[in-house]
Structure 1
Amino acid sequence: MTLLEHIHELRRRLMIGVIAIILGTIIGVLWYQFRLLGLPSLGQLLTEPYCALPPGARLTLGDPAKCQLVAFAPFEQLTLLIKVGVAAGVVLSSPVWLGQLWGFITPGLHAHERKFARVFIGVGSLLFLAGAVLAYLVLTQALYFLVTVGGGIQITALRGNDYFSLLISLLVIFGVSFELPLLMIMLNRVGIFPYAKIKAWRRGLIFGIFVFAAVATPGQDPFSMLALGLSLTVLFELAAQVCRIHDKRVERASPWAGLSDDEASPLPVGGGDAGPVAPVTASALEPTRPVEEPAARRTYDDVT
C-alpha cells in the first residue's frame, strides 16, 4: 500500500472505532440509569462498595434504607452521567476498536510477530481485568477506613463525582499496575532484563513496588496500599521465575554453555555436510618431497 492508502485505511478504522465508542457510550448512559438484560443498573453496581458500608457511616437523607450519593452543583449529575457513560462505552466497545487496531497493525507483521502480539494482548487484557476486579473488592474496606477514621465525630457527605473519581482511579491504577509481570517478561525476552539482574536487584525492586503502591493509590488508605503492594510482589515473583526458566533454556541451547569468558569452546567432531572428519595421525602423512623448480618463464620477446 502507498502512504496515501495507509492514511485512508487508518481514517476508516478510526471512524469505525469512534462510532463504536459513541454507541457504547449511549448504551452506558442508559445502563447507568436502568436495568438492561436482567442485569442491575450500572449505577447500582458501581455504588455497591459504598452501599455496603453500615448506615451509620453514610449520610442518609430522607429514607434511611436508601443508599444515595449527594451532589452540590446543578450540572454535577449530568457531568457524572456523561463521565461514567463514556468510561463504560470505551470498555463495552473495546472488542471493536481493539479489533480495528489489530487489523491495521497485522499486515505489517510477520507470522511469529502476529502470534507474539496476540499472546501479549490476550494476557495483558486478563491482567488488567484481574487488577480492576481486585480494586473493586478492596474499595469497600478502603471506604470504610476513610469514612470512619474520624471516630464518629463527623460524617462524610460523599459527592458522587468524588466517589466515582476514586473508583475509576483505583480501577485504572490497579489494572495498569498488573501489567508489571508482562513488561518484565517482554524485557527479558529481548535481553534487556535478564534474571541475573532481577536476582541482584530483588530487594530494591520489591521496596520500589511498595513505595509505588503508597504513592499511586488515590485514597492513601492502608488497605489499598497493602493490596496493591502485596499483589504486585506476588506477580513480580511469578514473572521472575518465568524469566529464570527462559534464561536457563537459552543458556542450554547456547554453543558456549558452561564455558567461562576466557575459555575456548571445543571444535566440533563432525564436518557438517561433508561428513565426519578423521583425526590426522603421523602414519597418514606422506613423506616430504622437495618442490621441483618451476619452468623458466617466457619473456615478452619469446611471446612476440
Structure 2
Amino acid sequence: MTERITKRRDPEGRMPLAQHLRELRNRLLYALLGIALASVAGWFLYEPLATLMVQPLEGINERGGNAELNFATVGVGFELQLKMAAFIGIFISSPWWILQIWLFIAPALRRKEKILALSFTLVAVVLFLLGGLLGWFILPRAVVILTGFAPEFAVNILDARTYYRFFMQIIGAFGVSFLLPVVMVGANFIGVIKGTSYLRGWRWAVVGCSVFAAMVNPLPDAWSMMAILTPMITFYFAATGIAIIHDRRKAKRRAKELGELLGDESEGQDWLQP
C-alpha cells in the first residue's frame, strides 16, 4: 500500500505505462463529460446564436440582394441544433477540458513548473476564445463578399446545413490555431522537443502556418490571410523563446545537481583516504 502511494506522489511525476494510460483515459472521460454538460446549455443557446449567424444574410437583403437559408429536409433543424449545441459546449467548457490536458501533463513536471504550466492553461483558454472571436469577426464579411459574386438577378438559396457548418468550421479552426504556442510549450516542458529544434525549424513552421491560414481563410484576399497568419507566427516565435529559456534553466539546474553530486562523492573519497 505504501509503495502505491509513493508511486502516485512521486515528485518527479514518474509512473508506470499502465497507470499513465489509465490517467489519459480518465482525463479524456472527464473532458468529454464536461463538454456533454456544457452542450446542454448550448442546446438552449442555439436559437440566439443561430440568429446572430443569419444576420449577414439579413444585411444582404436590406441592401437589395436576395439571400435565404433553405432547410431541405424535415430533420435538418433538429440535426443542426444538436451539432450547434455540441459546438457551443466545446467553447463553454474550454477551461475545463484544457485543464484536463494540463492535469495529464502535470505529473511529468516539477512542482515549480506546475505553477507555470497552470498559468499557460489559463493563457490557452484566453487564446482559444480569442481565436474563435477572430473567426467570428471575419465570417460576416466573408459571407457578404462571397455571396456578392452571384449575378444581380440571382437568388442565393443557401443550404442551412452547409451554411452553419461553414461558420462552425472556421470558428473552430481559428480557435485551435491559437492553441499552437500552448502545444509547443507543453511538448517542450515534458521533454518531447527542445526549443532549439523549434528555432531551427522556423522556416518550415512559417510554410505550415501559411498553408493552414490559406486553407481556413474564407475570403479570396491576402489581407484576411495575413490576419490569420500574423498571430500564428508571433505565437510560434514567442513559444520558441519560452522553450529556449526553459531548456537553459533546466540545463543549469542539472549542472548544479551534478556538481553537488560530484562534490559529495569527492568528500566521501577524502574521508576514506588514510
What residue number does 2:51 align with?
44
- AA paired with 1:192? I
- 1:15-55, CA deviations, whole angstroms, 9 ceiling, x for partnerless residues? 8964x65554343223323xxxxxxx222333345445463
- AA paired with 1:140? P
| Aligned mates of 2:108, 2:186 — CA distance in 1 | 20
Q: Tell me if structure 2 keeps the 8 A contact 1:138–1:227.
A: no
What residue number does 1:25 align with?
39
| Aligned mates of 1:55, 1:202 — CA distance in 2 | 47
How far residue 101 of structure 1 moved from its aligned partner, in angstroms, is 8.0
Q: Secondary structure at the match of 2:193?
A: coil
- AA paired with 2:87? A
2:239 is equivalent to residue 225 of structure 1? no
What residue number does 2:146 align with?
146
What residue number does 1:194 align with?
195
Q: Tell me if structure 2 keeps the 8 A contact 1:52–1:140.
A: no
Q: Secondary structure at the match of 1:82?
A: helix
Higher normalized helix content (fraction of residues):
2
Q: Which runs of 5+ in 2 are unaligned?
A: 6-17
- 1:105-146, CA deviations, whole angstroms, 9 ceiling, x for partnerless residues? 979987456435533432222221111111111112222221
User: Per chain length, whose mean CA-contact separation is higher, i.e. which structure has more relative contact order (CA < 8 Å, sep 6+)?
Assistant: 2
Instruction: Give the stretch that moved more between structures: 134-143 or 100-109.
Output: 100-109
| Aligned mates of 1:79, 1:164 — CA distance in 2 | 11
| Aligned mates of 1:129, 1:84 — CA distance in 2 | 17
Alignment of 1:198-213 (within 5 A): 198=199, 200-213=200-213
2:66 is equivalent to residue 59 of structure 1? yes
What residue number does 2:15 align with?
none
How far residue 239 of structure 1 moved from its aligned partner, in angstroms, is 2.4
Instruction: State the percentage of identical aligned residues.
Output: 25
Q: Tell me if structure 2 keeps the 8 A contact 1:24–1:89.
A: yes
How far residue 229 of structure 1 moved from its aligned partner, in angstroms, is 1.7
Alignment of 1:1-304 (within 5 A): 14=29, 18=33, 21=35, 23-33=37-47, 41-53=48-60, 55-56=62-63, 58-59=65-66, 69-93=69-93, 111-112=111-112, 114-115=114-115, 117-150=117-150, 152=152, 154-189=154-189, 190=191, 192-195=193-196, 198=199, 200-215=200-215, 217=216, 219=218, 221-222=220-221, 224-246=224-246
Instruction: Give the stretch that moved more between structures: 177-186 or 164-173.
Output: 177-186
| Aligned mates of 1:108, 1:249 — CA distance in 2 | 16
Q: Tell me if structure 2 keeps the 8 A contact 1:28–1:86.
A: yes
| Aligned mates of 2:109, 2:247 — CA distance in 1 | 26
Q: Secondary structure at the match of 1:69?
A: strand
The two structures have a TM-score, normalised by structure 2, of: 0.66
Q: Which runs of 5+ in 1 are unaligned?
A: 34-40, 61-67, 257-266, 278-304
Bigger Rg, structure 1 or 2: 1
Q: Tell me if structure 2 keeps the 8 A contact 1:70–1:157.
A: yes
| Aligned mates of 1:184, 1:15 — CA distance in 2 | 23
What residue number does 1:288 align with?
none
| Aligned mates of 1:104, 1:245 — CA distance in 2 | 23
| Aligned mates of 2:136, 2:81 — CA distance in 1 | 20
